[in-house]
Structure 1
Amino acid sequence: MNRMSAAPAAIAQSSPQELALSGAWTARGIGAIASQLDALTAPAGQELVVDGARIEALDTAGAWVLQKLVHRLSGEGKTVRLRDLRPEFTRLLEAIEQQMADQEPPLASSSIAPASALERLGRNVVASLEQGFALLSFVGECALALGGCLAHPARFRWRPILYNIRSAGFDALPIVGLLSFLLGVVVAYQGANQLRQYGANIFVADLVGLSMLREFAPLITAIIVAGRSGSAYAAQIGTMAVTEEIDAMRTLGIAPLDLLVLPKVLALLVALPLLTVFADVLGVFGGMLMARAQLGVGFADFLDRFVKAVSVTAYLIGVGKAPVFAAIIAVVGCFQGFRTHGGADSVGRQTTRAVVQSIFLVIVADALFSVAFSALDL
């Protein structure tokens, strides 16, 4: 019989131990018997025979409904046996049964007891190690891409590099300058009371100069750039990953590292040291103003003592940290962007991780610099 002319699906319970199925058990034919299937019962502890000899058509929807019925009755303590099905229908039911079996483990796992604190700690450690290895792999890929560009300078994309220098460097001058100026004011203000007690007002130049040039200026600049530019890198690349633009670039033969990562890294390697120098100047200027207001140390006296107290080595140490901080910020931001998958929520999550990890690694690197410089007596 033609499937289009087959009767709708029907089910009859000729006896408590036997069900008779008939008609077209297809997506179109089973809608009318949904309530009848839900109300179907049979005596517990007895074999229930399901006669499928009169089933005229069966598709995946009908096979799924039939298997769900068999599973429900079996779960209620009944033994169910299918009889007189066509061979092709039997094979379809076996395929549906296999698919349902494959889906059972995830459903069953939801009933497992919550993981213990030790298990959660282990999972977090494994995830952190996996991300660490992935970051090292990403650093290696960036190094290889940079080596390829150095071997073939024509591969450098100067327009993106200049654009990133402007966005990460020039556009950040106001916020970096303001915060550095205020930090210089705070350092001089906090030291003024202590220095005044011992009549050592002039040594405010030592305090402001060494603290700003060696530590505060490069560190505060890196933190500002991590929150400002590092987050932008992660969000930009993450959005491109979600919208499959990166896959399209690979399809066109454009290397994403050459276009998206190297310009950002090279631009930040140039911009962050310059921003650090700018922060040095504004921080010292803020300290000069506060020294004059609180301690009566004039600008000429301050600068005279500043030149004697702060050596070129101290200045170069602060500026020398900036390229390392820049590499950390750019690489981590781009790395987290490439790890974005799913939807917009993943973009926000990876952007947050980029900022947090960048600042954390910058502070760790600064601490390691302090230990190394102390060991070298610098």
Structure 2
Amino acid sequence: MDMSAHFSIEDDGSGESWLVLSGPLLVSTVGQIDEELAAIDQPLAAIDLAQVEEIDTVGAWVARRLSRQHDARIVHASDKAQRLLEALDGAQSDETSLRPPRVPVWQRVPAAMGEKVFNARTGILGVVAFLGRVLIGFARLARHPGEFPYRALVRQMELVGVAALPIIGLMSFLIGIVIAQQGAVQLSQFGAETLTVNLVGRITLRELGVLMTAIMVAGRSGSAFAAQIGTMKLTEEVDAMRTIGLSPIERLVIPRIVACTFMMVLLGFYASVVAIIGGAVIGQVSLGIPFLTFLERIQEVVPMYDVYVGMIKAPVFGLIVALAGCYHGMQVAGNSEEVGKRTTMAVVSAIFAVIVIDAFFAVFFTEIGWG
């Protein structure tokens, strides 16, 4: 049995040319003659489907394309072929735009904003529920301290703190250099280059040391928390933990929160000290201030409450970063694309929250006289 499609061009006796298709006109056979059909350049009056044994949607589409191309009619189509052709006529033509209608921008933007605000309640309820589970987990571990995952805590402290020392040290050192160099350039206009010591000491201990460290930890550890927990959710490891009676909050979330909160204090202080050293290097090289003299002046010009301000901010920032990373990791569901999406959301929300809280801290400490 011949399972290939054929065609021929015949004269109907009145001087008009008919394209006669024969054999099965199916997706598996029409490709054999499609290029030859497309190359036909002589005018056709009709396309004859009388000898077509079988036809599917692709075959009907080829016949309809030829009829439009040559402005020819289709004749002798079987009932099945006729139904397919009518279905194709009812569908969109090749020239029809596939773009959906767009509402005006002055309607689209408010509608999108309203939808986001309305959907925000789900996110707020999710965060509150997550915080509740975390507090319950802390309460249970406080009653049974022997069940606290100390090994996981030490491991996370190593990953969040010790492993971050090189990159945070380099970042802080360069920030100290930039602050000292730019500050000296501006202060030199007033003959007050020596006040560079005050600038470097106060801004690093009070603000930039802790803030830049929090941003770095959010990008480094917050994203890792979201990706690790999210991957465990996809591979059903979290469900397996629940099945064997282990709490994912106690085993996965709490060690990360405690480690990030505690290590942020050490990393923030370390970053401030390294930034001051960077400023002292510029003081030695560019300003003629001896290195040790620069460090001694720091003790004289920086009030102690500036150190307290930085150390109060640090654990709060660490808590925010850890909560954002763990929360978004626990929200992963569906597919691997969700891991990347939630990881990005964890970093963005943590950095945004840290900057907002830092602004509140600035106002608060100014009001109590620590400005």
Q: CA deviation at 1:320?
A: 1.4
Q: Distance in 2 between matches of 1:281 and 1:127?
A: 44
Q: Which amino acid aligns with 1:227?
A: G
Q: Secondary structure at the match of 1:39?
A: helix
Q: How does 1:76-225 map to 2 (within 5 A)?
A: 116-225=108-217
Other-structure match for 2:305? 313
The equivalent residue for 2:291 is 299
Matched, 1:243 2:235: yes
Structure-to-structure mapping, 1:347-362, within 5 angstroms? 347-362=339-354
Using the TM superposition, give the Cα deviation of residue 112 of structure 1 relative to its aligned residue in structure 2, in angstroms: 8.2
**Aligned equivalents of 2:363, 2:259: Cα separation in 1:** 28
Structure 2 CA distance, aligned partners of 1:313 and 1:192? 25
Deviations 1:298-345 (A, max 9, x none): 123322321111122111110111100111001110110111111111
Residue number among 221, 225, 229 corresponding to 1:229 in the alignment: 221
- Work out whether 1:286 is the aligned partner of 2:278: yes
Aligned to 1:339: 331
Residue 192 of structure 1 aligns with an amino acid whose one-letter code is A
RMSD: 2.2
User: Is residue 176–residue 279 contact of structure 1 (8 Å, CA) maintained in 2?
Assistant: yes
**Percent identity for Structure 1 against Structure 2:** 40
User: Cα deviations across residues 97-134 of structure 1 (Å, max 9, x unaligned)?
Assistant: xxxxxxxxxxxxx9786683222111111223321221
Q: Is the 8 A contact 1:202 1:305 kept in 2?
A: no
1:184-209 deviations in Å (ceiling 9; x for gaps):
00000011112223232221111000
State the alpha-carbon separation in 1 of the partners of residues 119 and 54 from structure 2.
49
CA distance in 2, matches of 1:348, 1:358: 15
Deviation string 1:134-163 (CA, Å, 9 cap, x unpaired) is 112211211111111112111210000000
Q: Give the drift of 1:290.
A: 0.7
- Three-state SS of the structure 1 residue aligned to 2:245 is coil
Q: For residue 245 of structure 1, what is the amino acid of its counterpart?
A: E
Q: Does 1:39 align with 2:81?
A: yes
Aligned equivalents of 1:133, 1:37: Cα separation in 2: 59
Paired positions, count:
283
Q: Which residue of 2 aligns with 1:23?
A: none
Counterpart of 2:246? 254
- For residues 300 and 141 of structure 1, the distance between their equivalents in structure 2, rounded to whole angstroms, comes to 50
Q: How many angstroms apart in 2 are the aligned matches of 1:276 and 1:111?
A: 52
TM-score by length of 1: 0.71
SS in 2 for 1:341: coil
Distance 1:116 1:297 in 2: 60
Q: State the shift of 1:33 in Å.
A: 8.9
SS at match of 2:132: helix
Provide Cα deviations, 1:11-64, integer angstroms capped at 9, x if missing partner.
xxxxxxxxxxxxxxxxxxxxx9985774366xxxxxxxxxxxxxxxxxxxxxxx
- The residue aligned with 1:13 is none
Given that 1:201 and 1:297 are in contact with CA atoms closer than 8 Å, whether structure 2 keeps it comes out as no
Which of the numbers 327, 350, 354 marks the counterpart of 2:319? Answer: 327
- How far apart, CA to CA, are the structure 2 residues paired with 1:362 and 1:349? 20
Task: Tell me which residue corresponds to 1:80.
Answer: none
- 1-structure distance, mates of 2:184, 2:272: 20
In structure 2, distance between residues paired with 1:194 and 1:120: 45
* Deviation >4 Å, runs of 4+: 32-37, 110-115
Distance in 2, Cα, partners of 1:38 & 1:207: 85
Equivalent residues of 1:202, 1:302 under 8 A apart: no
Distance 2:163 2:226 in 1: 18
**Secondary structure at 2:191's aligned position in 1?**
coil
Residue type matched to 1:116 in 2? R
- Matched with 1:94 is none
SS in 2 for 1:377: coil
Q: Which runs of 5+ in 1 are unaligned?
A: 1-31, 42-68, 77-109
Name the CA distance, whole Å, in 2 between partners of 1:367 and 1:202: 29
Q: Deviations over 1:62-101 (max 9, x none)?
A: xxxxxxx9xx8xx99xxxxxxxxxxxxxxxxxxxxxxxxx
